[in-house]
Amino acid sequence: MPKDQSNESTSTEGIHQWKKNAPYKIHDTGKDFKVRYEASCHCGKVTYQLSREAPLDSKLCHCTTCQTQHAAPFQWAAIFHKDDINFTKGHHDLEWYDPTDKSIEHKLPCKVRCSFCHSPIMDEGRNMILLFPTLIHFKNDQEKKNFKPRCHMFYCQRVMDIPDGLPKWSGLNNSSDLIEDSPPEKIVELERQRVKEQDEKSKKDKEESKK
C-alpha cells in the first residue's frame, strides 16, 4: 500500500528485537490464540495461523506501487491486528523491503516476503498488517466469503476496469472521492458526511472568532 504521507519510515529497535514483537512473536495456541485459518507461501517454508474470523477490512488496491511489487494489476489485501497472526514455521526466513527508501532494512512500513520463493507474505505497518488472502487455505466458501473485498482504492491508477459495483475510491478509502461504478447510495452518504463536517467546521470557526 502507499506509504503514510504524514510519517517517515520508522526503524525497529535492535537487530533481533523484531523476533520478540508482534507480528513475529510466537503465540501459545489455545485459550489466548484460537486458530481459525492456516496459510503458507508458495514453497511452504513460511507458514502462519490467524485467530480472527474476519479481517478488519478487505480491499483491492490499484496503486502503482502495488502493481509493481506484485507484478499484477492490483493487490487484494486484508487488514489484521499484529497480534492476530502466529508464525508456525519460517519466520526466520523472511526478508523485508522498505519501498520508501528502497532498502532491505526492517523499517516500517515495509513489505515482507519469503526469502526462498519470494512470495509476498504481508505489508507490515506501524500498527496493523495487511495480509494476502490468496495464501490462506480456506476450508469452505463461507471462510473465503469472510475475506470478500469491500472496496477499491486508487482506482484512478487502474490498468483494467472492474465493474463489480463495489465502492471505488480515487485514493485512500474514506478520504478521497468516489468515482466510476460506485454505488449511488454510497456517494450520497459520502456527500452528506462531508457537508456535515464542513458545517461543523464552520460553526467551530465562528465560535473561535467570537472569543
- Residue 35 domain-assigned (yes or no): yes
- Whether pLDDT at 145 is above 50: yes
- Whether pLDDT at 50 is above 90: yes
| Averaged pLDDT score across all residues of the chain | 88
Chain centre to alpha carbon of residue 78: 5
- Residue 202 domain-assigned (yes or no): no
At residue 1, the pLDDT reads: 63
Which residues, 6 or more positions from 138, have their beta carbon under 8 angstroms from its beta carbon?
A: 37, 144
At residue 80, the pLDDT reads: 98
The residue-averaged pLDDT of 107-133 equals: 96
At residue 111, the pLDDT reads: 96
The residue-averaged pLDDT of 93-110 equals: 92
Determine whether 119 is exposed, middle or buried from the number of CB atoms within 10 Å of its CB (0-12, 13-18, 19+). middle
- Residue 155 domain-assigned (yes or no): no
Range of 28-32, 53-57, 105-109 with top mean pLDDT: 53-57
The residue-averaged pLDDT of 95-118 equals: 94
Question: Which alpha helices (H) appear in 83-183, and where do they start and end?
Answer: 141-145
The residue-averaged pLDDT of 177-190 equals: 79
- Residue 49 domain-assigned (yes or no): yes
- Residue 21 domain-assigned (yes or no): yes
pLDDT grade for 173, boundaries at 50, 70 and 90: very high
At residue 181, the pLDDT reads: 80
- Residue 134 domain-assigned (yes or no): yes
- Residue 23 domain-assigned (yes or no): yes
Range of the domain at 48: 10-149
Of 12-21, 39-48, 72-81, 130-139, the least confident: 12-21
CATH classification at residue 58: 2.170.150.70
At residue 19, the pLDDT reads: 80
pLDDT grade for 5, boundaries at 50, 70 and 90: very low
* Torsion over CA: 148, 154, 159, 163 (sign): positive
- Residue 180 domain-assigned (yes or no): no
What span, in angstroms and rounded, lies between the C-alpha atoms of 85 and 79? 11
Dihedral angle over CA of 112, 115, 120, 126, nearest 10: 0
Domain total for the chain? Answer: 1
